[in-house]
Structure formats: structure tokens, C-alpha cells
Structure 1
Amino acid sequence: MATPDFVLALREKIGTASLWLSGVTAVVLRGEDVLLVKRTDSGEWTPVTGIIDPGEEPAVAAEREVLEEADIVAVAESLSWVRVIPPVRYPNGDVSQYLDLVFRCRYVSGEPFPADGENTEAAWFPLDGLPAMSEDMRARIRVAVEGAVRTRFER
């Protein structure tokens, strides 16, 4: 599902006004490979991303999004980065801004598959052979791979 029901319900009340949401980025590692998905909306390769449902634990959201989007079972092992991303204006005029929680996740099982229609492809890529992607997404992967003992906070 591209837009969660709770966001659609909020949009009925606030229209396209800026909406503050919490999101996750799941950087799933299998050895020296990282799981990436190719987004339907932009055609860009990214780690799995998604919105945290109301009351949902963030690590659980990361694991759920990986299963829903790529048909991969993964376990969130550490919180790597906490930051606010700039506002996003969608083609329909909606504006959202996200608190993004980047999790380093460990692969458990499954073969990558674009399971929910949000992506056209899902695949493993070697960390030293990533496809073209935004510097922002590369940074999310880089911070998670570094595996620092402490969480990185944007300042």
C-alpha cells in the first residue's frame, strides 16, 4: 500500500498542508551486499523506506516494510541515524516532512521481489557496486554500514 490509511484520513481533514510523519529506512545487509528497491514513483534505487504506523515500534516498522516491499525477512539490529529530512512536495500537492530513522538490518531469509507494487524491482547489490542513486540514499547506506556503536544524530 503506497499511502497508509491513517495518512489518507488526515489528508481528508488538512488537505495538502504540511504533515509531520515518522519514517524508517531499512538498510538490509547480507554479507557485503545491500538490499535495494527501484521505486515505482521515481524510478530511483533506494534502500527500503516507509512510514511508521500509529503506535508501531520503529524497529518493527523497518522489518515490516522490508517484508512488504521486498519479500525479505530481516531483523533490525541497530539504529544508525536519526534526522529530519527536508519537506517533500508530492505531484498531487501534498507536503510532508519526515523524522527518518535509519536502521541497520540483518538478512534472515527470502529472495528479493517487488512484493507490494511500490517498487518495480528488488535486488542485492555489492556495497562497492551500487547503482546510480541520490547522495542522500548513499549516505543512509554509508552510515548504517559504518555500524558505529552510537547512533548518529543530525545537528
Structure 2
Amino acid sequence: MPTPDFVLALRAKVGNDPLWLPGVCAVVLRPLAEPTEVLLVRRSDDGTWTPVKGIMDPGEEVGQAAIRECLEETGVQIEVDRLVNVGIIGPVHYDNGDVTTYLEHTVRASWVAGEPCVGDDESIDAGWFPLEDLPGPIPPADLAQIEVAVTNPRDVVLGGLPR
């Protein structure tokens, strides 16, 4: 998906000044009880593999955003199990001069239906990967998100993962 309209409207007012935006990261596992696979997308901008991520729409709840992003980006329907991490990404400096910091909400989710396909121009590939044989490269922060989701913690981690 291109930059959301609400972000473009904000940028028209604040220019390249720093923005604080809510984001979601969905670590989708299959099967959920004893996961053996994780859903990953290959980003079109840098070629890295990541869980499904996106900017939350105004007023959108975390679980709704994760469900929407997975469907839009991969065609996969998911069910959100729980929130497993809240942390900060950024500030991110973009080539056009924009600066954004994201409050990322990571959820552990399970596969419901659908097989992965590329759903928009943000990625060039999507698929299920065995947890013991993940593709590369995966940024360290994303590996940490996968690990915290797979280890099935009962508590939410607040900013404690490496970036």
C-alpha cells in the first residue's frame, strides 16, 4: 500500500518534521499450539524478510490493524492471539527528508485461511518458513520479535527487545 492518506495530510501540514505514528507487527504462526512455521514477507525496498508490518489507521485497534495488514499484504486471514511486545522504532530518516518514529505493537497471531501471495508493492515475496530454517537476511529486531512471539510469554514486553 502507498503511504496512507492521513499521513500525507499530516505531512502537508508539518513537512518533514518528525511524526510519531502507531504501527503493528504481526508474527503469524502455523500451527499456533506448537508453531513450526512463520509467515514472512520480503520487503521491496531493501530485500530483507520481516513479519507483516504496517501503520495503524486513525482509531484502529491493534488486532484490527494486524488482521487488515496481513490480508492486504499477503492474502492470509489470521486470528490475533495476544499482544507480545510494545516498543519504539526510529527515528527513521527517509530519502525524501521525512522523519518518523513508530510505536510498534507486536502481536502473536495464528493462521486461519489463505496461502501467502504478494498483495502490494511493499513486498516482492511472501511465504511460510520453518522456524528452524528462516530465510535471510532478517533484521535482528525482527528476529527478536519472532522469538518473543514463539516462546509464548504470558507478559507483554515493554521496550525490552534489542533494536
- The bucket for the TM-score relative to the shorter chain is over 0.9
The equivalent residue for 2:139 is: 134
The equivalent residue for 2:2 is: 2
Are 1:82 and 2:86 matched, yes or no?
A: yes
Supply the distance in 1 between the matched residues of 2:119 and 2:159 (Cα, whole angstroms). 32
Report how far residue 37 of structure 1 moved: 0.2
Structure 2 letter corresponding to 1:149: R
**Structure 2: which 5+ runs fail to align?**
none
Q: Secondary structure at the match of 1:102?
A: strand
Supply the distance in 1 between the matched residues of 2:99 and 2:45 (Cα, whole angstroms). 16
Are 1:149 and 2:154 matched, yes or no?
A: yes
Instruction: Report 1:40-119 matches (<5 A).
Output: 40-119=44-123
Q: Which of the residues 120, 123, 136 maps onto 2:124?
A: 120
Runs of 4+ aligned structure 1 residues displaced above 4 Å come to: none
Per the normalisation by structure 2, the TM-score is: 0.92
**Structure 1: which 5+ runs fail to align?**
none
Aligned pairs, number: 155
Supply the distance in 2 between the matched residues of 1:128 and 1:2 (Cα, whole angstroms). 33
Structure 1 letter corresponding to 2:4: P
Structure 2 letter corresponding to 1:136: A
Structure 1 letter corresponding to 2:48: E
Q: Secondary structure at the match of 1:10?
A: helix
Supply the distance in 1 between the matched residues of 2:55 and 2:151 (Cα, whole angstroms). 24
Report how far residue 86 of structure 1 moved: 2.4
Supply the distance in 1 between the matched residues of 2:42 and 2:132 (Cα, whole angstroms). 18
Supply the distance in 2 between the matched residues of 1:89 and 1:20 (Cα, whole angstroms). 13
